[in-house]
Amino acid sequence: MYVPFNQLPNSARIWIYQADRPLTEAEIATVQPALQHFATEWTSHGRSLQASAEILHHQFLVIGLDEAVADASGCSIDASVRFVRAVEDALNVSLLEKSRLAFLVDGQVELLDRRELKAAVAAGQLVSDTPYFDATVARKDGLQNSFPTAASRTWLARYFH
């Protein structure tokens, strides 16, 4: 069952998929009905899931699930990944690639290959308080409170010591 994203509880489980490029307003408008349709139809062992999906910062597809209503099963997780692949195909974008990190630089989302991280820190391109979009955030409250957050407050902290 679809629920507006802002009505999911703070404890809702989330999955973040990072696009390899910013999505345009037209692309977001095109995919919006599919996001709502997916959340409406998403089930686990025949039970409706209280879910939502949203595009944030023109770069992130976020799927949210109220696990207090019903948990996602392996099959329902597989269904969500199939949906993400369908969005990739529809928008000609990659959402499942994990090799790039997203930072907020001068108000824009910038992607950096993981292999370039140490060099970017050494060169001063990234500093400890550079806002980082941590795609490992797993709950809605974390999304609200720390997406983005200072790189030094995430798993990247070790690169700034």
Using one digit for the tens of pLDDT, what is the confidence trace for 9-57?
Answer: 999 999 999 999 999 999 999 999 999 998 888 876 777 778 899 999 9
Query: How many residues in total does the chain contain?
Result: 161
- pLDDT value at residue 40: 87
pLDDT bracket for residue 160 (50, 70, 90): confident
As a whole number, mean pLDDT of residues 132-143 equals 93
Closest by Cα among 71, 72, 68, 91 to 81: 72
- pLDDT value at residue 44: 66
Query: φ and ψ at 2, to 5 degrees?
Result: -70, 140
Strands 47-48 and 51-56: unpaired
Q: Answer whether 0.85 is exceeded by the pTM.
A: yes
Burial of 119 (0-12, 13-18, 19+ CB in 10 A): exposed
- Bridge partners, 113 (sequence order): 100
- Bridge partners, 105 (sequence order): 108
Closest by Cα among 154, 159, 158 to 126: 159
- pLDDT value at residue 144: 86
Model confidence pLDDT, tens digit, residues 97-120: 989 999 999 999 999 999 999 999
CA torsion angle 57 149 88 34 (round to 10): -60
* Amino acid identity at 136: T
CA angle in degrees (0–180, nearest 5) for 73-64-117: 100
DSSP state of 106: T
